A and B are shown apart, each in its own frame.
Chain A
Amino acid sequence: MEGGKVGNSWFIGFSFLCALVLMVYPLPIDWRWLRPELLCLLAIYWVLRFPQLLGVGMAFLLGLVQDIVQGSLWGQHALALVVTIYITQLTIHRLRTYGTLQQLMWVFLLVFMHELFLYWVSMLLGREALFSYFWAPAVISALLWPLLCHALDKLCWVLRVGV
């Protein structure tokens, strides 16, 4: 894991593709605000695992792709993801030593900030955002975090990603 190359890195790209599909999967229009920020979670996970591979630049590109796919204003998700990943990188050593519960809280904060930036931009555009739009995805994403970590750890082990 210390080397520059990461084996089977196609899996990382594939996971992002899956996340993008799930991000636009049509939920009932009343329940859209409950959608977890899967792409943001995945980005945090991969940055923690392979910091040499994923950085702020990749986050920018990913956010841009998400903007294009979701049809939102270009740069909206890019901005939010860049800030989130930057803070993740700053706190990477602390995050790695944390236990599950502490990690969960920290991820909650990170996703909350992600949402804050997203809706800050859309509020500048004159749209109305309820407070529940901020905390609901953050809570759900944080609760998903241990599950996602566990599943991805297993998958990485099986597929020998990063060996």
Chain B
Amino acid sequence: MLALIAVALIIASRFFSPSMQPVKDRLDGFALGFYWITDLPNRFNNWLDDSLVSREELLEENRSLKGERLILQRKLQQYATLAADNARLRQLMNSAELVQDRVLIAELIGVSPDPTEQVVVVNKGSEHGVFIGQPLLDAFGLMGQVIEVNPYFSRVLLITDASHALSVQINRNGVRAVAEGTGDLYELKLRHVSNTIDVKVGDLLVSSGLGQRFPVGYPVAEVVSILHDPGRAFATVIARPKAQLNRSRHVLLAFSGQRNEGRP
């Protein structure tokens, strides 16, 4: 009897989720407590790191950070001229100007325990302006998109989840493709790449912005293997995500202007 109720509940929550949303939101606040608790050891660790550092270590870190800043500043000088160049060229071509993205720094506080889905929990929610479909990045590339928002936290579907796909282009020549997740954390697959297309191992794939969801030009993955099988209509292209999906703790939520709802 209860099993039947459970089955009914499964069906209900699968197909009538919008009408159950208010209840869900309320109860998810309760769920947040658990993630908060499991995050405590991590925060304690961070606090220890911050408060129990010797003077030498701090000096050392300061020195290396200064060096890094110098290098980055040099790059930034070039960037200014490049950005100006780019804007001028775009004006010449009458295309829209690239909008600078605003970002929100967030922290990963949990990972979904279900191994069949690749979902992480981030400690920013609708109170901070997070919305469904918002892209998540780390320092190395695109990580995923927000699929569930609560006032104080949100769940993010990673790009390698088997139900996720995004449009990318090869940075070298601008060839467009669709990168699908495979359920494996280190693998993306390019969909429908014909055998004659110019793609090489080592090519960088960047987001093309064609899905109207992810901003243009963020690195997504690097091609690691290409298989041309004459028996098949398309080549099998495997790429490895640039973002450190299993390591990054500090992540960025990007605001790219448009907002649209729903899963891809």
**Chain A interface (Cβ < 8 Å from any Cβ of B):** 20-21, 23-30, 32-33, 35, 56-57, 59-60, 63-64, 68-76, 78-79, 82-83, 86, 119, 121-123, 125-129, 133
Q: Which residues of A contact B12 (CB under 8 A)?
A: 74-75
CB–CB A75/B115 < 8 A: no
B residues less than 8 Å from A133 (CB atoms): 115-116
Q: Which 9 A-B pairs have the closest CB atoms?
A: A75-B9, A79-B6, A75-B10, A74-B13, A33-B115, A127-B116, A78-B6, A25-B38, A26-B111
- Which residues of B does A touch, CB under 8 Å? 2-3, 5-10, 12-14, 20, 27-28, 30-31, 34-35, 37-39, 109-121, 148, 155, 162-163, 183, 185, 245-246
Q: Across the interface, which residues of A come within 8 angstroms of B121, CB to CB?
A: 71
Q: Give the interface SS of chain A, mostly helix, strand, loop or mixed.
A: helix
Given known contacts A24-B38, A30-B246, A70 and B112 CB-to-CB distance under 8 angstroms: yes
Contact for A56 among B2, B109, B120, CB less than 8 A: B2
CB distance from A129 to the nearest CB of B (A): 5
Nearest CB on B from A64, distance (A): 8
**How far is it, in angstroms, between the C-alpha of A30 and the C-alpha of B192 when the chains are bound?**
28
Cross-chain contact A72 with B2 (CB below 8 angstroms): no
> What separation, in Å, do the CA atoms of A123 and B7 have in the docked complex?
14
Q: Are B113 and A125 in contact (CB under 8 A)?
A: no
Contact of A63 with B6 in the complex, beta carbons under 8 Å: yes
Determine the chain B residues whose CB is within 8 A of the CB of A64 once the complex forms: 9
Q: Is the CB of B34 within 8 A of A127?
A: no
CB neighbours (8 Å) of B119 from chain A are 71
Residues of B contacting A30 in the complex (Cβ-Cβ under 8 angstroms): 185, 246
Cα-based distance from A23 to B37 in the complex (angstroms): 12
Task: Contacts A71-B31, A121-B10 given; indicate if A83 touches B111 (C-beta within 8 A).
Answer: no
Chain A residues near B13: list those with CB within 8 A. 73-75
Give CA–CA (A73, B24) in the complex, Å.
Answer: 11
- In angstroms, Cα B111 to Cα A113, docked, is 24
